[in-house]
Amino acid sequence: MTESPPPAVAACLNCGAAFGVPRPRFCPDCGQETNLKPPTLGEFAKQFGGAYFATEGALWRTLKLLLLRPGELTRQYLAGRRRHYVLPLRLYLSISIVVLLLMRVLATNDLDGSIPVVQFDAGEAQNFQLDLGFGRAGMKDGEFYCEQLPAWTCTRLHRRLEMDPQAMGRDVAERMLGNVGAAMFVLLPSFALWLRLAYWNRRLRYTEHLVFALHLHAFWFIALALMLPSVPWLTAVSAIAVPVYTMLALRRVFGGRWGPCVLRAAFVSMMYGLTLAGVLPALALWGVLG
């Protein structure tokens, strides 16, 4: 049974402008099509992938520049040449979401509770410790202990630790992976802040440093994705590529001599590491209490 064509309308459904005779293809006021009909699945696919995933599209052009010329994508954006590239936040979100999904899929069958904040006694299966950096809690020979943590936290941890420790370790690991994306909304702005302090004399706005942070973290996520298959040579290449790429990107975007560039990079790395050291225990605690 064929579908009947949609009835003709005398005015634009978007802005209400009246149509003349003959009816135009597009509204002369707002530009919307006048011959509207329910979209097909093919049209949805075309809208999603036509401009974004086409060989000549913005995504591939952006990825090529991001991967092959460290820092150049940021330079193009700050110079105002933005039309032909994926916007920084959209690029970062697209890459990070895909990589985090891959991490969760690959980790589902590989979690045994042995993550940095969750430790088990090899000799005694019932002995378990949750190390949060600023405090710790666990079970020792069947006895619960909680050190340097607020009383309410100890109470909730005690209830959670009454479960099987191995099962809890897996649960903490899965929750931590699920919360990494949210944690990045703390880490990314902090990285941009340390970057602005390091390059204060460049007189760039904080948001311009944030653009660089988004592009750099997008590359870091790609490097992380290459490490996921656990191929030794690929992991080694990716691990080397991260600092090398970062230094080249810093110098291309902010200029300056190599000596001061290295010192500024060391400052940003130290401050970012301190931020990470604060966020990861909080992420683990969130995973336990959440």
Any idea where the domains of the chain sit in the sequence?
A: 58-109+175-284, 118-170
- Compute the mean pLDDT over every residue in the chain, rounded to the nearest whole number: 80
The residue to which tokens 């309410």 are assigned? 152
pLDDT in tens, 10-28: 788 788 888 877 888 888 8
Q: Check residue 221 and give its pLDDT.
A: 95
The mean-pLDDT minimum among 129-143, 165-179, 237-251, 262-276 falls in 165-179
pLDDT exceeds cutoff 80 at 178: no
Q: Which residue has the higher pLDDT, 157 or 64?
A: 64
- pLDDT of res. 270: 96
Q: What is the reported pLDDT for 107? A: 60
pLDDT, tens digit (0-9, with 9 covering 90-100), for 185-197? 889 999 999 999 9
* pLDDT band at residue 117 under the 50/70/90 scheme: low
Q: What is the mean pLDDT of residues 158-183?
A: 65
Predicted TM-score (pTM) of this structure: 0.70
Residue with tokens 């941009």: 192
pLDDT at 55 over 80: no
pLDDT in tens, 120-153: 555 454 666 776 666 777 777 777 788 877 787 7
Q: Which long-range contacts (CB under 8 A, 24 or more apart) does 276-279 make?
A: 276/187, 277/133, 278/133, 279/183, 279/186, 279/187
Q: Is the pLDDT of residue 162 over 70?
A: no
Q: Residues 96-109: what's their mean pLDDT?
A: 78
Q: What is the pLDDT of residue 113?
A: 43
